[in-house]
Structure 1
């Protein structure tokens, strides 16, 4: 093979072999390029290829194209009447705590007296305190805080229980709900004034009213007649 034999010179045979080798190399190179082209077009990497377009058309859409934005979702609005009712309804106030002081609003105060008495007699009246709240509470019931006054028909002060014989005591009590406490007060049948310096006389017969007081709490007027 390396030493051709024939009637022609050896150079002729070498040239023929060289031409044949070039042709083989050209065929191999062209086949390789054609194969590479077909492979790249098949996997869709070639721009503009039919297969590449089909692949892109089957891509999974982005999440924001499938799930709507929360800003576009409308939440239901409660009825206006319900909102207005909730806004206008006041909070329930807390009641007094058990054992707290009895305020004037938590007690009732009244005067018990006979309907009438003879002028110059010594009738007994009562100052009545009632716990009207739903809880026990503390109240000072000292003698110095209690007072009864007698007023005539014109509203003039005729007598006061603390004018001439004031009393003192230390009497703070826990009043149960609905508990009633009565304090008797005897009237001597004579007029008086706060300094107890004016002459004391028997008031004339007529219609009067009795008014009670326990510290800052004042009772309604109770009618009373002297005959």
Structure 2
């Protein structure tokens, strides 16, 4: 074959191959460009249409049901704040006036004597009852033998009491200055007493006895002693 003919045919083949590769590259680039433009065109158009000041939306977007439910729940179940109430005024305590009757909480009652002592023969037990006003002012109290009672018992047996067989009214109202004790001393003759005022009271038997002093609801610590 003619060398010139061979040279011409080879050049044609070379350019055909180059054109085929170029066309293939262009097709691939076109496909990729189309895919990119078609995938992002929808949201971009919608976004541009909504953001454009001149465009008007034909329908109002539906509210998010989750947010609407939370908003309704918060508004419907919120507990109302408590209404502040004004503090109640404390009751006015009327100050005590000097000479008013003593209150029980203002009095202290105590007794001395007869504590674990033994009295033999004709020895007589002796006791001292003390009443003190610890209130803010002077007050008055009945310290008569019935109101301020000294009682001696032995077990369940009531042996003797200052409230038994009292002549007259039996009351004795005294003024009790603050901090100044009222003192009553007593010596027991070792005989029983009774409410019917027997002419000859019986003598108390040897044994263990308990002395107490009381005034209304007040009680002093008891004293235990023994007769021999």
Structure 1 unmatched ranges of 5 or more: 1-78
Residue 176 (structure 1) aligns with? 177
Residue 133 (structure 1) aligns with? 135
Residue 151 (structure 1) aligns with? 153
Q: Where do residues 1-227 of structure 1 align in structure 2 (5 Å cutoff)? A: 83-84=84-85, 86-87=87-88, 90-115=90-115, 116-119=117-120, 120-143=122-145, 145-152=147-154, 154-163=155-164, 171-197=172-198, 199-206=201-208, 208-214=209-215, 216-227=216-227
- Whole-Å separation in 2 of the counterparts to 1:209 and 1:84: 57
Describe the superposition over 1:185-211 as per-residue Cα deviations: whole angstroms up to 9, x where unpaired. 1100122222243751223222x3222
Determine helix, strand or coil for the equivalent of 2:87.
helix
Determine helix, strand or coil for the equivalent of 1:86.
coil
- Whole-Å separation in 1 of the counterparts to 2:168 and 2:187: 13
Query: What is the RMSD computed on CA atoms of the aligned residues?
Result: 3.2
Q: 1:193 to 1:90 in 2, by over 3 A?
A: same
- Whole-Å separation in 2 of the counterparts to 1:135 and 1:144: 25
Describe the superposition over 1:113-142 as per-residue Cα deviations: whole angstroms up to 9, x where unpaired. 231131552121122111121111122333
- Whole-Å separation in 2 of the counterparts to 1:193 and 1:220: 23
The CA deviation at 1:85 is: 7.1
Determine helix, strand or coil for the equivalent of 1:117.
strand
Paired residues in the alignment total: 144
- Whole-Å separation in 2 of the counterparts to 1:108 and 1:219: 9
The CA deviation at 1:84 is: 4.6
- Whole-Å separation in 2 of the counterparts to 1:86 and 1:143: 48
Contact 2:133 2:179 in 1 (8 A): yes
Deviates more, 1:122-131 or 1:142-151: 142-151
Q: 1:92 to 1:157 in 2, by over 3 A?
A: same
Q: 1:85 to 1:203 in 2, by over 3 A?
A: farther
The CA deviation at 1:148 is: 1.1
Contact 2:146 2:162 in 1 (8 A): no
Q: 1:182 to 1:158 in 2, by over 3 A?
A: same
Contact 1:144 1:166 in 2 (8 A): no
The CA deviation at 1:163 is: 3.0
Determine helix, strand or coil for the equivalent of 1:163.
coil
Determine helix, strand or coil for the equivalent of 1:105.
helix
